[in-house]
Structure 1
Amino acid sequence: MTLLFIYLFIALFISFLCSIMEAVLLSVPISYLKSKLENGDRSAESMIKLKEDIDKPLSAILSLNTVAHTVGAAGVGAQATIVFGDAYFGIVSAVLTILILVFTEIIPKTLGANYSKELVGVVSKLINASIILTYPLVIISSLLTRVLARSKVELTTSREEISALASIGTQEGIFADKENKIIQNLIKLKSIKVSEIMTPRVVVVIANEEMTLQEFLKNKEFLHFSRIPIYQTNKDNISGYVLRTVVFEKLAEDQFDLKLKDIKREIITFPKSTTLFKAWDEMLAKREHISLVIDNYGGMDGITTLEDIIESLLGFEIIDEKDRVDDMQKYALDRWKSKQKKYDLLKDVSKKDENKNS
């Protein structure tokens, strides 16, 4: 009778530990482990290594669990037959099955999943010991895994999953709505094109590079913008841009006859299919705040600024203390509509004059 309970205890205890190890290994988030590692937790480093090569620890756990179940069932069955006789073998098997289900599956896996973070230190040591104990079986399992596993390494996390996690975090109160919006916009930076946020060509304020600073100052429209693209020959041939502050500096030095081309800066050029992420990266690297967006034929399609990209990321307008207008794109569009309206009125007047003359 004593031997029966010894077999039963060993089988249940080893299987209990195996189930806890498996649950903790699969449940503890890699992000949590890396944050603990940054704080100097060495057990987190051990668990990260196990999760990065998860086939080995899983093979060790499953091998040890299988041996425990097999030896335990055989030992308990043999002792039960000796103690109770063949008549009670079926009852003993049923009781053993229930005990295995409850004490080696339900309870340990529930504990492992719920307390995975707290059990990292103990479990990482137990798993490493299990790998050493079942090393021959682990090697065989690893060879089989290499043969049967997919050659392509699958990503553990996708952009969609991160987006969903941020949304869940907002619902649970971890993130504010604005924080969630920034995360969602950040994830989309590689899919949004500059053409989607640019100021279109028809509303861009540009100046002729042959214009003098005196002429520039007389045009009040230029004073609303800190960076003004300039063109050479025709408006599709953008040759650079000028800084409003530099213009004012030169005017303060009485250089009224200086031309815009004499103080122009080179402008970064992007095809309209360029992503916001790429444009943002290049503009930051070159320390530029404005870029030219070109169409398929190399002509000007519009302009985009670093401010536009950051506003797309944050989800709201950035207003400088020197800005006279809250939304420069809207201002440019309204200005264009106003000019278009005046043009239409002039056309109507011309038509009326023609009708009178005829």
Structure 2
Amino acid sequence: MENIENLESELYLLDSFIFFLLVIFSAFFSGAETAFLSISKYSGDQLETGRARTTRRLKKLHSRTQDLLIAILIGNTLVNLSAATVAALMTHRLAQNVHLNSNVAILLEVIIVTLILLVLSEITPKFLAIKRPLKFASLVSGPILIYLRLMAPLTFLLNAMTSGLSHLLGISSRSLTLREEELRTLVEVGEEQGVLEKEEREMIHSIFEFRETQVKEVMIPRIDMVCIEKSATLMDLVNLIKQKGHTRIPLYEGRIDNILGIIHAKDLLPYLNQQNHEVELAQLARRALFVPEYKRIDELLKEFQKEKMHMAIVVDEYGGTAGLVTLEDILEEIVGEIQDEYDQETPLLRKIDENTYLVNAKIDLHDLNRELNLNLPTESDFESLGGFIFSLTGTVPKEKDVVAYKEHRFIIEKIDRNRIVQVRIEKVNDRAEPQTVEINP
């Protein structure tokens, strides 16, 4: 008799453990459903978490929202049914032991289980997910991604059944609005079938990426800025404009971090006919627009339109000058390079032979990977080829230094004031050791 009582106690403990474990899983699925529904309208840059791996997982799940929600609903339904079943078995066993009426026992079980599931598995996790959807989604993204892969066959089957049923009922299973991924696929198919030219495809892809591009990705870096000091003369400014061919020149005092304004070339015309060219350049400067380097370029374009400006000074997190950005820089993100009469044709990448390319070090790593089919890391603090090489060397290289990374060698062809200007990329037959550096003495 004592053994039977011990067994009953152990069964109660086991059932209770299983029940509350299922409640935890139910809360997990409920919170995940709310979190991923909340971020389903987020753009790519809004999914940035500061951790590259987590951001990649979120973007992967974000692109499969429909499959994800189906899988979560399957899991939540199975877990809740299992919890109700375990609770029913516990109630039945308890009712027999205490000689409780079965109808009363069932009523009590329904009330208690409903309250537990509502509070612990629905209201609480969903409240937390609504308050911090991105944080919640980040925390569960790892296990959810594994779960989604495991549930892929069942998810596919239910998707097909839903589509078939919708078709029989005369309901379109497709949304009237296409997702970005579907539009990208249509663009690729259009190019393959000859409906779209390569340039048209690239322009459409640029429009997709426009909202996710930040100012720091398109700006002219500080070291390449053409500026003039406040103490310079009018003729110094005229000669600078003639030499560089720019119509807008930032004016600074003391150092480039102290920008006073922007001087327009056309504002100099009234003073050029005067015998006395002594004029304070600060009097000619117009108000400068300052923007943070992490501002999205679509927002900056609207600001340019509102302020009727064509140039902005980009500042870093410490308030220093990081570079400048123009209206032309932003438009080039959509239509490609815009050449005017002053621009010199200097391609960022030039093919020497099948295995050798001469590359400008400021080329964006995404563009370089796409053009040469490379796999250089892009989820880091650097964005250009020069920044990538600096990250490998840990020091300022000299001309003819060689940096080997995987199956490529990067030979420094030109250095200008501690800045890498030009790099020759060579593909080697034997795979090089990753991140090895050959520095000339």
TM range (shorter): 0.3 to 0.5
Higher strand share: 2
Higher RCO (CA < 8 A, seq sep 6+): 1
Query: Which one has a bigger Cα radius of gyration?
Result: 1
TM-score normalised per structure 1: 0.46
Higher helix share: 1
